[in-house]
Amino acid sequence: MCGIAGVIHRDGPSDIGTEMTRMLNSMKHRGPDSTGFALFGAPSDLLVIRFKLADANDKRDTDFKDRLDRRRREVGNRLKRIGATVELADSDTEYAYRVSVNYDGDLKALTDMLEEVPGCEVLSIGHSLEIIKDLGDSNTVAQQYHLKGFSGTHAIGHVRMATESDVDISGAHPYWAYPYSDIAVVHNGQLTNYFHWKRRLERMGARFQSECDSEIIAVYLAQKMSEGLDLKTAMKQSLEDLDGVFTYMVVTKDSLGVAKDEMAAKPLVLYESDNLIVMTSEEVAIRAIIDHEIDTYDPFESEVLVWSL
């Protein structure tokens, strides 16, 4: 069934790493397979790239470490070749990495070049977006990637119960909107015209790393925005174009949005104040970060809501 959560602080940064961890932990019964975060930290001139070179549950054969070393060196070579200057590189796991680079070239070319390295998948690219996702519950993932104290203004997160694709990092949400920077999506539901849109977007040049229907939403929205639509209009159009039952959340560098299908089949509970908006699949997740009595409500069918910083 999956659980999704989103938060935006319109009065300045907060510890969104801890907030999102708490919210997702309170919904871990909705999805024990994997947990993911899309966090927006302080905007930077540098481009932050999160990528993995193997999956969490890949077999650790005798060549595993050497293979990763070779792949990591090849990624470094390719970054250099395309003109990206690495300012900072670190790793929280043996297979997932974070690099900050100076680069103002074509993101599609950059991504495609990196993903030619065997096992490489770019999880996110952004001046403030970072997508962190892995197997296990939110406390496990947050601890592993040191998310406590991650300061930022807005975020979305997801706990996954895998239904139609594998339990691996590629199948975990959030999804980045390849090849556009600073856009990510989480989704609870099923898209019934997934293959139609996947083929259509692939013809437009998109690439998909997973077999998960949710991946197309991010790319769809980014594609529409690249054609000139604003976020809200693109989301409204998605209600016409995407079939199925869904509630999805999207984050851009300065906005948080949510859309529900025409049947309101998937849950969403919303708390909205002047400076803080929190929305989750279950109210108990909102209560994980707000300890006083609050008023909440379920948005209706076909609703599209967007909040900006």
Partner 1 sequence: MSLGAGERRITYDARGLAEPFATVPKISEIAGEKATFDAAALTTRQINLELKWLLYEQGVKNVTVLNPGAKHSIGVGILTRCKLRFEGSLGYFGLGVIDGPEIVVTGRVGWSVCENMMSGVVVIEKNAGSLTGAAIRGGDLVIKGRVGARTGIDQKGGTIIVCGDAGSNTGFMLQRGRQIICGNVGPHLGDSMYDGTIYVGGTVKSLGLDCVPGEWTPADTELIERKFRIYGLGSPPKFQKFVCGKKLYNYDALEPSERKLVIH
The catalytic residue positions are 2
Q: What is the closest distance, in whole angstroms, from the C-beta atom of residue 213 to partner 1 in the complex?
A: 22
Beta carbons within 10 angstroms of residue 69's beta carbon: 12
Q: What is the closest distance, in whole angstroms, from the C-beta atom of residue 307 to partner 1 in the complex?
A: 20
Q: What is the closest distance, in whole angstroms, from the C-beta atom of residue 231 to partner 1 in the complex?
A: 24
Residue numbers of the site for partner 1 (CB under 8 A)? Answer: 28-29, 32-33, 56-61, 135-137, 140, 167, 262-265, 267, 269, 282-284, 286-287, 293, 295-298, 300-301
Cα dihedral 252→253→254→259 (10° resolution): 10
> Of the two residues 54 and 107, which places its CB atom closer to partner 1 in the complex?
54
Asked if 224 and 237 touch (Cβ cutoff 8 Å), the reply is yes
Q: Closest Cα to residue 42, out of 100, 129, 125, 103?
A: 129
Q: How far is CA 269 from CA 207, 246, 295, 297, in A?
A: 33, 14, 10, 6
Interatomic CA distance for residues 231 and 257, integer angstroms: 8
Contacts of 164 (CB under 8 A, 6+ apart): 190, 211, 212, 213
Q: Closest Cα to residue 130, out of 39, 234, 191, 261?
A: 39
User: Tell me, what amino acid is at 88?
Assistant: L
The enclosing H or E element of 24 equals: helix 16-25
Q: Closest Cα to residue 195, out of 171, 174, 180, 215?
A: 215
Q: What is the closest distance, in whole angstroms, from the C-beta atom of residue 282 to partner 1 in the complex?
A: 6
Interatomic CA distance for residues 23 and 2, integer angstroms: 13
Q: What is the closest distance, in whole angstroms, from the C-beta atom of residue 155 to partner 1 in the complex?
A: 21
Q: What is the closest distance, in whole angstroms, from the C-beta atom of residue 294 to partner 1 in the complex?
A: 8
> Of the two residues 231 and 285, which places its CB atom closer to partner 1 in the complex?
285
